[in-house]
Every structure is written in C-alpha cells, then in structure tokens.
C-alpha cells in the first residue's frame, strides 16, 4: 500500500488555514465539484477542442466523460489517494484523465513529455505511484516501452502494482487503453452520484507539480484542492478570463502555467473554452488561434519571440486579446513589441510551481507591463526581499525573494532535508529569485541565487547535470552553469577538469547522459575543458565567475554572445 500522502506533507498552520477559509480564499470544495458546477452553469457551451484530433466537447460532454473515466479508474483498482504519473502531450486524453483524477481523488503526478527513464523512475518511486499514463509513441520515442521497462524498478522500490495506461493505437492487452478509458459512459447520472458521494476533501492533495530543479532530482509539490482552485480562479480574474474566453494551451499542460495560471483549470472554472495543441510552433499556433477564435494564450519568452517573428510576415493573430508571458524573464525590448505586433495585451507572469504568482494587470500602464514582472495575485501573499542574513533590504534594492501565502505550500513532499534549506522555520519559501521592488510595488526579477539553469522556461538543476557528468571516469571536476543564448535566454555549459592524461568531449558527455535516460533539454550544449575551476574565498566553485567567463568567451568568438546558437 502506498503511504497516505498526509504523512509527508507540511500543512498550513491551522490559524492561517482558518483565516484563508474565513476570508473566502479557500472555497472548501474539491476541484472536481467546482468543475462540475461550472459545467452546470453552461452545459451546452463549448469546453474543449483538441486541435490535433479535431475532437470537440461541450461542458456537459466533457464533465460526463470525466465522470465516466473517473468511475472506470476506480473500477479498475485505483483508489482515492493513489498516485498516477501522467506523462501525456497536450490533448484530450491529458485533459480527461487529469480531470478524472481530480474528481476521484486519485493524485496525478505531472511529468513532462520530455522526461525519460531517470526522471520517471524518480517520480514514480518518490510518489509511490501505482500507475503511469503515456502516449504509445511521441516524436519517435517509445513511451509505452519505457513505461513497461520501469515496472520492475518501481515495484521493487514501492511494492506497488504498476499499471500502464497508453494513449494511441499502440496499446495492447497488457495496458489500459486510454481511448477506451476516456470514452463516454452509459449512465452519467449514476457516475455523478457515485463520485459526488466519494469526493476527496478540500484540503486533500489534488495533484503533484514538479519543482523547477535546484536540487539533484525534481521535488514534488503537493497542491491541495483548496489552494489550487484559488490559484486558478484568481489567475483567471487577473487575465480577464470569463465565459467568453478561448484559451490556447500550447505550452506543456503539466506545467503550472498552462494548467492553472489560469490555464486549463482557470478557464474551465470560468466557463470558457480550452483549445489544446501539442506544440507552440508559430504556424500551428496561429492556425489554431484563427480557427478557434482564441482570445488568450500563454508563452515563454522564447515562444513569444518566435510568434513575433512569424507575425511580421503572417500578420497578427487577430482574435488574440491577451498574451501571457512568463517562465523566464522577457527582455524589455521584446515585451514592448508584443502589443504593436501581435495586437494583444501583454501580461507578464512571474510564477512558480511552489505557489506564488505575480503578474502585471491588464489595465497597468505600458511601462509597468513591459518592464516589470508584476505583483502578487492575492492580497494575502506575503513577499519579503532579503539579504544573505535574511534581513529585509531597503525598497529599490535587489534582495532574495521569500514568500508565504494561501496557495504556497509550506514544504516539499517527502523531502525533510531540502525543506530545511528551502523553507525558513516560520514557513517562508526561499524562491531563489533575486528581485527588486519598484516604487509602484511591482517586482523586477534581476537574477537568482539558486543553482538552476533556465533554458527557455525549462528548469535544469546544475547539480543533476554535474552528478551525471561525474560518472564519467575521465572527469575529475565539473561545474554546470548557464551560458547566455539569444533565443532561449540560457543554455547549459559544463566546465570540466579532466583526470590527468585523460580528456572528454561534449559528445561523450551527451551520449552518456542519454544512455542514463534524461530529458534532452538537460543535455549540456557547450564544454569548456579547463585546468582548474575558479573558486571563491571559502573554496567553493565560483559559478558567478564561470558564468561571466563563458559569456566573455562567447562574445570573443562571435562579436556578441547573441550571434552564437549552439546545437
Ligand atoms: C514557472 O514555474 P516553474 O516552477 O517552472 O519555475 C519557477 C521559476 C521562478 O522561481 C523563476 O526563477 C523563474 O521560474 N520564472 C521567472 C519568470 N517566471 C518564472 N523568471 C523571470 N521572469 C518571469 N516572468 O516558471 C511558472 C509558473 C506559473 C506561471 C508562470 C511561470
């Protein structure tokens, strides 16, 4: 039996929780109920369009499919509180399965399609998952095969049964076929009554998001029904999402941004419509925007840049009203082009799977929208900017951002050691972002003091890359750092000191990491072989100096770092 989730979470202290309830932040209703209620308000309005398959569902049809799927999951042996790793591309199977889990109290673990053996094993074992949902193949990769390969490792580690749910014609009798699982049911009234009677509690864990990579392997963030619903509803309000909104989900839905900021959940809860697309590639995205009358979309800066480029030839994506940009800092010059070129209002979103969301508001002056990352969503979000001794810095000075609030959990799941570092004893989350507060109260993200590389919004743990590179016998010392990149903001560069008489190449490092099985976006894209690594006065590797060094080298090679696009 998997351990009850509650054994390893850090709940909000009761006085805070009571205040969040009393002041109406926490609705006290599980997400499945809220979604059901939203669909009852406009059952015949369109809810979901899968741009890849053409499937279109109204709110009633979606809710009934979700209920039918939830009932089938329960009938096939999954129970409320069980965990299921969901690794699906954006599409109707992702939506129906995830919502079905929320409805039944089964807890989805939001893996990314890019994850491979190492990440999936870690997530499955840590969450003690009893199932995984995968596409049969995606972009030429055999996800079904890998899911079955994990069976033995996961069973040995957790003692759990391991069921593989497969989306696509490649499913065979050893799998649960997601197309059958997500099909319409025979008795929607009975399904609904059964699920209403066994619904999870509002403070139960609704889902696990993944942390953006500071320690070796991703950590799990347990988000409750109450806190995540609040996150989604509040985001919808700030993005101007109402029942007339049509939202394009083309960033991975497993990311907090596309899932609930406002994303899939916020838009459905507002009675709007979601269009799923497996890729944000501009041609496909612009076609989907035109075809479905998309009013709202979300992008990381690298995607926004490609959309801007595309719009110069193709013209603006006419129906688009709001483009949210977040996940990494958008350069001010790029931000200023969004409205004139795309004809849509820009909303900057500075968020984190750990909770806190900051954003610019739609009626903010252009200067605020284009040069800041906005301010916290909730009046109950607490934000401090502190120095190295956790003392508040004067306004206008950069400081490390600490936060607490009604949708920022107080600890990672099953991670006491990391929690001691990432949270203060009185529950503030150390985001690792270095920010400055403007006189108007908005935050500007100026840098970070965490050891993470932000590759176009994908977060990569430097420690994880180093751990893997250290496995190569020729490597004596390694440090992974961010190098500047014009398209993605940052990419991974590794500095290596080889063993005496040995050498190592970038291809060897990448091949080794691929053999271990990690997401491709984590593979280093540049190698610097050096005799020694710069160190600080206390003998730690000086990553700041290495980052400056690689930027300098690239500038020398190409005039500016900007001209160079490795791999
Ligand atoms: C979003 O969430 P995560 O968990 O993938 O990454 C969080 C980290 C932040 O701590 C910060 O370092 C960086 O990503 N970040 C930004 C940013 N938005 C996120 N840095 C600068 N400017 C921004 N606008 O990335 C995420 C979650 C919800 C909504 C949007 C993004």
Residues 497-506: tens digit of each pLDDT: 999 999 999 9
Output the residue whose Cα is nearest ligand 1's atom 26.
351
Count of residues making up the chain: 567
How far is Cα of residue 507 from the mean position of the Cα atoms in its chain?
29
Nearest to 337 by CA among 304, 363, 315, 359: 304
Q: Which residue has the tokens 């800066």?
A: 301
Please say whether the dihedral angle defined by the alpha carbons of residues 518, 520, 521 and 522, taken in this order, is positive or negative.
positive
User: 356 C-alpha to center of ligand 1: Å?
Assistant: 10
User: 149 C-alpha to center of ligand 1: Å?
Assistant: 33
User: Which of 254, 351, 443 has most ligand 1 atoms within 8 Å of CB, for mutation?
Assistant: 351
Please check the confidence at residue 561 and state whether its pLDDT lies above 50: no
How far is Cα of residue 172 from the mean position of the Cα atoms in its chain?
30
Q: What is the mean pLDDT of residues 131-137?
A: 98
pTM for the whole structure: 0.97
Atom of ligand 1 nearest to the CA of 349: 24
Ranges assigned E (strand) in 443-488: 443-448, 452-455, 458-461, 475-485
First CA to last CA across the chain, in angstroms? 45
Cβ count near 194 (within 10 Å) = 15
pLDDT in tens, 393-427: 999 999 999 999 999 999 999 999 999 999 999 99
What is the SS3 assignment for 325? strand
Output the residue whose Cα is nearest ligand 1's atom 19.
327
Atom of ligand 1 nearest to the CA of 431: 10
Q: Are 489 and 328 in contact (CB under 8 A)?
A: yes
User: 40 C-alpha to center of ligand 1: Å?
Assistant: 34
* Helix H or strand E encompassing 209: strand 205-210
Phi-psi region of 293 (alpha: psi -120 to 50; beta: other; left: phi over 0): left
Atom of ligand 1 nearest to the CA of 458: 5
Q: Which residue has the tokens 């080889």?
A: 498
Q: What is the mean pLDDT of residues 179-191?
A: 98
Q: What is the mean pLDDT of residues 414-442?
A: 97
pLDDT at position 564: 46
The two tokens of residue 385 are 């900017």
Residue 567 binned pLDDT confidence (cut-offs 50, 70, 90): low
Q: How far is CA 222 from CA 9, 99, 208, 291, 442, in A?
A: 7, 16, 5, 37, 28
Atom of ligand 1 nearest to the CA of 373: 24
Atom of ligand 1 nearest to the CA of 210: 4
Q: Which residues does a 6 A CB cutoff place in the pocket of ligand 1?
A: 212, 256-257, 261, 326-329, 348-353, 357, 373, 431, 433, 445, 448, 454, 459
User: 502 C-alpha to center of ligand 1: Å?
Assistant: 39
The strand pairing partners of 526, in sequence order, are 493
The two tokens of residue 173 are 């009798």
User: 177 C-alpha to center of ligand 1: Å?
Assistant: 35
Output the residue whose Cα is nearest ligand 1's atom 12.
433
User: 136 C-alpha to center of ligand 1: Å?
Assistant: 30
User: 358 C-alpha to center of ligand 1: Å?
Assistant: 10
pLDDT at position 53: 96
Backbone φ, ψ for residue 183 (5° rounding): -75, 165
pLDDT in tens, 106-133: 999 999 999 999 999 999 999 999 999 9
pLDDT in tens, 231-281: 999 999 999 999 999 999 999 999 999 999 999 999 999 999 999 999 999
Output the residue whose Cα is nearest ligand 1's atom 22.
329
Domains of the chain: 5-371 (3.40.50.12780), 381-448 (2.30.38.10), 452-558 (3.30.300.30)
User: 60 C-alpha to center of ligand 1: Å?
Assistant: 34
Distance CA(186)–CA(205), nearest Å, equals: 29
Q: What is the mean pLDDT of residues 323-329?
A: 98
Output the residue whose Cα is nearest ligand 1's atom 16.
328
Output the residue whose Cα is nearest ligand 1's atom 20.
328
User: 340 C-alpha to center of ligand 1: Å?
Assistant: 25
User: Which of 219, 235, 350, 422 has most ligand 1 atoms within 8 Å of CB, for mutation?
Assistant: 350
pLDDT in tens, 50-88: 999 999 999 999 999 999 999 999 999 999 999 999 999
Q: What is the rounded (10 degree) CA torsion for 150, 111, 424, 445?
A: 140
User: Which of 209, 213, 218, 326 has most ligand 1 atoms within 8 Å of CB, for mutation?
Assistant: 326
User: 352 C-alpha to center of ligand 1: Å?
Assistant: 5
pLDDT at position 566: 53
Please check the confidence at residue 562 and state whether its pLDDT lies above 60: no
Output the residue whose Cα is nearest ligand 1's atom 30.
351
């Amino acid at each position: 039996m998997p351990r009850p989730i509650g054994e390893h979470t850090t709940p909000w202290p009761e006085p805070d929780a009571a205040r969040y309830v009393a002041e109406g932040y926490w609705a006290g209703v599980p997400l499945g109920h809220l979604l059901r209620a939203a669909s009852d308000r406009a059952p015949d309005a369109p809810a979901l369009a899968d741009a890849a398959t053409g499937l279109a569902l109204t709110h009633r049809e979606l809710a009934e499919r979700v209920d039918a799927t939830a009932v089938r999951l329960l009938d096939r042996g999954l129970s409320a509180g069980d965990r299921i790793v969901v690794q699906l591309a954006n599409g109707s199977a992702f939506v129906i399965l995830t919502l079905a889990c929320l409805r039944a109290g089964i807890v989805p673990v939001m893996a990314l399609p890019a994850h491979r053996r190492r990440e999936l094993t870690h997530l499955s074992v840590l969450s003690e998952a009893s199932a995984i949902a995968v596409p049969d193949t995606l972009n030429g990769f055999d996800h079904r095969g890998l899911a079955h390969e994990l069976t033995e490792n996961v069973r040995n580690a957790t003692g759990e049964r391991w069921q593989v749910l497969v989306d696509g014609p490649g499913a065979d009798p050893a799998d649960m076929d997601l197309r059958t699982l997500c099909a319409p049911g025979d008795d929607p009234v009975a399904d609904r009554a059964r699920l209403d009677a066994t619904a999870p509690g509002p403070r139960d864990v609704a889902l696990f998001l993944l942390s953006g990579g500071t320690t070796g392997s991703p950590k799990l963030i347990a988000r409750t029904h109450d806190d995540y619903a609040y996150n989604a509803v509040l985001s919808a309000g700030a993005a101007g999402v109402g029942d007339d909104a049509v939202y394009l989900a083309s960033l991975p839905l497993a990311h907090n941004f596309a899932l609930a900021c406002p994303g899939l959940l916020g838009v459905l809860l507002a009675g709007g419509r979601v269009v799923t697309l497996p890729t944000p590639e501009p041609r496909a995205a612009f076609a989907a925007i035109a075809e479905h009358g998309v009013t709202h979309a979300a992008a990381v800066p690298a995607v926004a840049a490609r959309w801007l480029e595309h719009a110069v030839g193709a013209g603006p994506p006419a129906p688009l009203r709001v483009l949210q940009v977040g996940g990494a800092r958008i350069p001010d010059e790029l931000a200023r082009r969004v409205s004139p070129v795309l004809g849509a209002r820009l909303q900057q979103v500075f968020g984190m799977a750990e909770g806190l969301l900051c954003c610019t508001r739609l009626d903010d002056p252009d200067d605020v929208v284009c040069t800041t990352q906005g301010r916290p969503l909730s009046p109950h979000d607490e934000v401090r900017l502190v120095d190295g001794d956790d003392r508040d810095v004067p306004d206008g000075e950069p400081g490390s951002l600490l936060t607490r609030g009604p949708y920022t959990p107080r600890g990672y799941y099953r991670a006491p050691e990391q929690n001691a570092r990432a949270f203060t004893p009185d529950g503030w989350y150390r985001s690792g972002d270095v920010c400055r507060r403007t006189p108007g109260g908005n935050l500007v993200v100026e840098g970070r003091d965490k050891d993470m590389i932000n590759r176009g919004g994908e977060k990569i743990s430097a420690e994880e890359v180093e751990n893997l590179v250290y496995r190569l016998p020729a490597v004596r010392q390694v440090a992974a750092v961010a190098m500047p990149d014009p398209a993605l903001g940052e990419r991974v560069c590794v500095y290596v000191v080889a063993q005496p008489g040995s050498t190592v190449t970038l291809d060897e490092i990448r091949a080794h990491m691929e053999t271990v099985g990690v997401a491709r976006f984590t593979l280093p894209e540049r190698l610097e072989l050096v005799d020694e690594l710069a160190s600080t006065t206390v003998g730690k590797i000086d990553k700041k100096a290495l980052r400056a060094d690689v930027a300098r080298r690239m500038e020398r090679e190409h005039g500016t770092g900007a001209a160079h696009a490795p791999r």
